[in-house]
Chains A and B, each alone.
Chain A
Amino acid sequence: MSEHATTHAAHDPNLGNTGLDHRKMGMWIFLGSDCMFFGSLIGTYLAYKGKSLSGPTPYDVFNIPLTSYSAALLLASSLTMVLALAGLQQHRIKAAAGWLLATAILGLHFVLNQVYEFASFALHEGLTLSTSLFGSSFFVLTGFHGAHVTGGVLWLLILVSLAWRGKLDARDYTKVEIAGLYWHFVDIVWIAIFTVIYLIP
């Protein structure tokens, strides 16, 4: 977003008193808000842990190897994201686009794994949204996280498309940086969810 009331004609209009770009600061605040959002969802999950009256338990249904693989995918995607930013900064647009695409593909793979997991729970394990408190809280928490990842994948693919069409270069560093911040956040939230839901007994 480059449309700004200019307060210092000689300076970058996006930079402010704190030295931070407006958009970066905005993203950090959004992520703080999103923290409270996921915190409330995780809190709900924890409040209902062990309180289901029927239906399969987490122990019955979880496929820890698959979910660990998914976690690794997201971690790797954070790495590719960092590489994308480095490439952009060094004016290697093609490389940056490539790494952004890799990030998106890893994210997409994560989402597809999740779809597979949800489907197998619903169809083979008898666990749906309305089966039990576990079903409700599990699907809503991980589903909203998955929605966040999906949104991020779309964002990344748009950036890739812009790069390929010559509409993204080093000038857009901050824009790609805030996409990166969002992506890392989504990754960190997954670490928290993975630990709380899958790993802690």
Chain B
Amino acid sequence: MATHAAFMPGAETERQNVLWSWLTTVDHKRIGILYGSSAFIFFLVGGIEALIMRVQLARPDNTVVGAQTFNELFTMHGTTMVFLAIMPMSAAFFNYMIPLMIGARDVAFPRLNALSYWIFILGALFLNASWLLGVAPDGGWFGYANLSSAQFSPTHSIDFWMLGLQILGISSMLAGFNFIVTILNMRAPGMTLMRMPVFIWMSLVTQFLLVLAFPAITVALILLMFDRFFGTLFYVPAAGGDPLLWQHLFWIFGHPEVYILILPAMGIVSEVLPTFARKPLFGAPVVIYSGIMIGFFGFGVWSHHMFSVGLGPVADSAFSISTMLIAVPTGVKILNWISTLWGGTIRFRTPLYFSLGFIAMFTMGGLSGVMHAAPPVDLQQTDTYFVVAHFHYVLFGGSIFGLFSGAYYWWPKITGRLLDERLGNLHFWLMLIGFNVTFFPQHFLGLIGMPRRIYTYAPDLGWNFWNLVSTIGAFIIALAFLVFILNVIKTARAGQVTGPDPWDGRTLEWSIPSPPPVYNFARVPTVHDRDDFWLEKYGDGHGAAPRARPAPVTAAEIAAIHMPATSYWPIVLALGMLLMLSGLMVSTYQIIAGGLLTLFCMYRFAMEHHRPPAGHGP
């Protein structure tokens, strides 16, 4: 087995220019690292946007930033955190871990995988270029019509947002197709669907949500695009257009989107807890079925984001009922997780801390969500800081804590080194305290009448104190992030080197070296159980002994493994698509040029392996 430099996972077999090897990689592990690093950088960008807002709101009638800048900040903060931080961070884990956990050597369509990443990063850079050009989007991350129309938003700011989201949506959908096929079709022998790890199940549901929910926002954005560029009347009230059409389409996407944001983190927690409690996930089938139900019913609750628009009591009641129904599968999972810990032997390490933080915070966010599910109550809470507190509890306290749990958990697998435990603990406590100091008071602010999306407030409304407290909390969160960055740097330089299984794990990824070789599994395993690796080590407690160690892998076996070749078509195709779509803001010539380049690249992409050299399959 080849040795690897401590921070360089899965080195390519040919000697290549390093930059070129990364630009043309189709290795899911490298793509995972690209997603993860990009997501983290955008997380910092979104965090800075938040800090500036909190400084502005720390005192009433403040003048740190003006109205326009603040409106841009909250628009970009929301858009960045949802699409450029949480989603790609989840994608980082999908990319790196899914093939490892199902016993595969890569994903179903490796070049499509790379394409997804390049489209994502180009879209992210395109969106943020608006800052540099002084036309950052200012319509909110949800871009309600008809404020977003050409009449009320005449600059290119909305165009950047609109086109940026379209580009990002394409990236997500392509990745969705890829991972569904990978999970359904590339599992190791013996891994039936119910033997898949729960993280894989949550990821599978997430992918289905991606491919089925994004078309709704694609259409919403297309209608907006046509209104803004070609004079259609979809969101023009004067012509009979209904601004609520946007809201319906957006939330038909938007609600499944929040499950897209939380399910991967739930999957991670479902892996971390059993490992650190040393017993299986309690009621794994129920957790899996809950995930499926959430995915399915998640398409039936969208108008709970619209309780104040006047849909009428029948519609309000219907969506209230469906929202309360969906709370059931969401809520019982928490009891499954706590029951996993019950009777276990709990080792407190950083990954576990973050998973525990997830449970505690997500519970709170979920309960405030139950309040929102009642339309009359929601009429006081929606569009206030109460709902801001709610969704930060579920997205930050939930998703982000879950993703950090995964980061600390799988860091040794990806890099071969363990993140420092003391710094990890410090990061956790700072983040837990900072997060609660920032967002718990926002419940109060909402209850005392502070609306959302306001750049300032009067001093005589009683909002001063809690706003100041919230701002202090935000800086504690920032400190927590610095601790994490310090940990990453320290670990890269001199972190503790580890073997394949530092946590005494339960699933397949812990059975291969850390970091894994480029082909992941020298010999594809045959799987007998969800916690197959654990059974291999310890037996099943019913008399079956741990399995005998298999014969060592031979060089001939490794030589027979064929890995996909690198390709530059994904990045060039992504550039063509960016050129074409951004051309809508520039000139018809650019649209045509970009379109032709796109078509050309698609052709070459498809033909690249049309008649492969002998011995490489059809």
Q: Confirm or deny: A57 has a beta carbon within 8 angstroms of a beta carbon on chain B.
A: no
User: Which one, A9, A41, A133, A158, contacts B239 given CB within 8 A?
Assistant: A133
Q: Confirm or deny: A29 has a beta carbon within 8 angstroms of a beta carbon on chain B.
A: yes
With A2-B612, A129-B226, A133-B240 known as contacts, the answer to whether A29 contacts B177 (CB < 8 A) is yes
Taking Cβ atoms with an 8 Å cutoff, the residues of A that contact B are 1-9, 12-18, 20, 22, 25-26, 29-30, 32-34, 36-37, 39-41, 44, 47-48, 51-53, 129-130, 132-133, 135-137, 139-140, 144, 154, 158, 162, 167, 171-172, 174
With A7-B105, A14-B618, A136-B226 known as contacts, the answer to whether A29 contacts B180 (CB < 8 A) is yes
**B109 closest partner in A (C-beta):** A1
Nearest-neighbour CB distance to chain A for B180, whole angstroms, equals: 5
Flag B163-202 by CB within 8 Å of A: 1 or 0 each. 0000000000100111011001111110100000000000
Residues of B close to A13: CB separation below 8 A: 617
Residues of B close to A132: CB separation below 8 A: 233, 239-240
**A20 closest partner in B (C-beta):** B185
Docked-complex contact A2 and B181, CB < 8 angstroms: no
A–B complex contacts, Cβ < 8 Å, 5 sampled: A4-B106, A14-B618, A22-B186, A30-B211, A140-B232
Docked-complex contact B216 and A40, CB < 8 angstroms: yes
Docked-complex contact B230 and A130, CB < 8 angstroms: yes
Taking Cβ atoms with an 8 Å cutoff, the residues of B that contact A are 99, 103-106, 108-111, 173, 176-178, 180-181, 184-189, 191, 211-216, 218-220, 222-223, 226, 230-234, 239-242, 245, 249, 252, 519, 524, 560-565, 599, 603, 606, 608-612, 616-618
Q: Which among A8, A15, A130, A171 has the highest number of chain B CB atoms within 10 Å?
A: A130
Docked-complex contact A18 and B219, CB < 8 angstroms: no
Nearest-neighbour CB distance to chain B for A119, whole angstroms, equals: 16
Nearest-neighbour CB distance to chain A for B531, whole angstroms, equals: 20
Docked-complex contact A129 and B618, CB < 8 angstroms: no
Docked-complex contact A6 and B212, CB < 8 angstroms: no
Docked-complex contact B215 and A33, CB < 8 angstroms: yes
Docked-complex contact B104 and A40, CB < 8 angstroms: no
CA distance A12 to B178 in the complex (A): 18
**A140 closest partner in B (C-beta):** B226
With A48-B240, A140-B232 known as contacts, the answer to whether A6 contacts B561 (CB < 8 A) is yes
Nearest-neighbour CB distance to chain B for A17, whole angstroms, equals: 5
Docked-complex contact A5 and B106, CB < 8 angstroms: yes
Residues of B close to A14: CB separation below 8 A: 617-618
Listed from nearest, the 6 A-B pairs whose CB atoms lie closest are A16-B185, A5-B105, A130-B231, A136-B232, A40-B219, A37-B215
CA distance A47 to B606 in the complex (A): 39
CA distance A12 to B186 in the complex (A): 12
User: Which one, A17, A34, A140, contacts B184 given CB within 8 A?
Assistant: A17
**A137 closest partner in B (C-beta):** B234
User: Which one, B104, B232, B240, B249, contacts A130 given CB within 8 A?
Assistant: B232
Residues of A close to B189: CB separation below 8 A: 8
* Additional A-B contacts beyond A14-B618, A22-B186 (13; CB < 8 A): A1-B109, A3-B565, A5-B519, A5-B564, A29-B211, A32-B212, A33-B215, A36-B213, A36-B216, A48-B240, A132-B240, A136-B226, A140-B232
Residues of B close to A25: CB separation below 8 A: 180-181, 184-185
User: Which one, A34, A44, A154, contacts B223 given CB within 8 A?
Assistant: A44
Docked-complex contact B184 and A18, CB < 8 angstroms: yes
User: Which one, B211, B219, B519, B606, contacts A32 given CB within 8 A?
Assistant: B211
Docked-complex contact B185 and A44, CB < 8 angstroms: no
Residues of B close to A140: CB separation below 8 A: 222-223, 226, 232
CA distance A36 to B173 in the complex (A): 12
Docked-complex contact B185 and A41, CB < 8 angstroms: no
User: Which one, A6, A33, A52, contacts B562 given CB within 8 A?
Assistant: A6
Docked-complex contact A167 and B233, CB < 8 angstroms: no
CA distance A52 to B564 in the complex (A): 54
Residues of B close to A37: CB separation below 8 A: 215, 218-219
CA distance A32 to B232 in the complex (A): 28
Residues of A close to B186: CB separation below 8 A: 7, 16-17, 22
**A11 closest partner in B (C-beta):** B617
CA distance A5 to B610 in the complex (A): 16
CA distance A26 to B116 in the complex (A): 15
Residues of B close to A129: CB separation below 8 A: 226, 230-232
Docked-complex contact A2 and B240, CB < 8 angstroms: no
User: Which one, B188, B234, B565, contacts A136 given CB within 8 A?
Assistant: B234
Docked-complex contact A3 and B185, CB < 8 angstroms: no
Q: Which among A3, A37, A53, A132 has the highest number of chain B CB atoms within 10 Å?
A: A3
